[in-house]
Amino acid sequence: MEYHLTTPLKNEDIAKLKAGDSVKITGVIYTARDAAHARLVKLLEEGKELPVDIKGQIIYYVGPTPAKPGKPIGSAGPTTSYRMDAYAPALINVGLKGMIGKGARSKEVRDAMVSEKAVYFAAVGGAAALIAKSIKKSELITYEDLGAEALRRLEVVDFPAIVINDIYGGDLYQEGQAKWNRLDK
């Protein structure tokens, strides 16, 4: 199935999603990689407010290249997600509803997604220039010293992604491997 989602996400938005579904996301998504995640989780541990309200939001694991003249962003391909696995459960626990990256997630992250109702989407690696076309605006929020890894606010229209982990424990990577193993015998 293909679904059109608008951020911020609500439980009823993601309840219909299953691993393997295609989505097009419109609205605001945030960017952050591991260094920014470490700072966000440190704020939570210190009982401080985050620089953005992440309830219902999506974080895209990306370190975009500099924008060319007249463009809001450069190439914007996904970063390997396991680098954020140490931090993701804490953010999911305070309301993060979606993450976009590439690669499999840890058991702890998958468990947090099921218990707190969040989803993990994959963006296609190698399609960074194509993905950037769905990004209409990019604004630096904080952590400018991190360069490409800073926390940014993106406005997107029909950002393409695939549901990898759903709120029911579905895992497209595991399902794909199991199917391949059956065919290989």
Q: Peptide bond before 8: cis, by omega within 30 degrees of 0?
A: yes
- Residues annotated as part of the active site: 37
> Of the candidates 101, 116, 107, which has an alpha carbon nearest to the alpha carbon of residue 14?
116
